[in-house]
Amino acid sequence: MTKTDLKGRITYANDVFCRISALDETDVIGQPHSVIRHPEMPRAVFKLLWDSVQQDRELFAYVVNLAADGAHYWVLAHVTPSRDAHGRIVGYHSNRRRPAAGAIARVRPLYQRLLAEEAHHRRAVDAANAGSARLDRVLAEQGTTYERYVWELTNAAEAA
């Protein structure tokens, strides 16, 4: 579990997060959450995540992270806005759990398609926008949304 400020800088990381990411708490506090970004994680999914939480919506997403020791690990992340006593969004809260192997096997081809689209663009923002447009097209062809796609993957994997 982690908490971030409005800019995505880590303000809290529990011991499980630190252990799995091979980072010490002092290494992550104040750092952007992207400190664990794996290069095989599409920018489009992070764009969707930021767009969602900044619009006061939660999001579940399959994410591959990069640990400090070079290992990678997949999570099913649940990200929500955090509020102060007056109801104002003051940051974000993310819980993660281990995803089923079957869900990862099914999400990888989609993420590879997004990465291929993003690779055509030099600027990160252009890559994220292009990947996002591709994600929207792929999901529209399937008649679904990312939220439903994740839900279906999660339920199918847990039923297997």
Given a cut of 90, whether residue 107 has pLDDT beyond it is yes
How would DSSP label each residue in 104-159? HHHHHHHHHHHHHHHTT-SSHHHHHHHHHHHHHHHHHHTT--HHHHHHHHHHHHHH
pLDDT in tens, 58-97: 999 999 999 999 999 999 999 999 999 999 999 999 999 9
Give Cβ neighbours of residue 116 (< 8 Å, ≥ 6 apart): none
- 93 strand-pairing partners: 3, 80
* Confidence class for position 159, pLDDT limits 50, 70, 90: low
- Whether the pTM exceeds 0.75: the reply is yes
* CATH number (domain holding residue 49): 3.30.450.20
| CA 147 from centroid of its chain's CA atoms | 12
- Domain of residue 26, residue span: 2-159
Given a cut of 90, whether residue 160 has pLDDT beyond it is no
Helix H or strand E encompassing 9: none
How many domains are there within the chain?
1
Instruction: For the beta carbon of residue 103, count every other beta carbon within 10 angstroms.
Output: 21
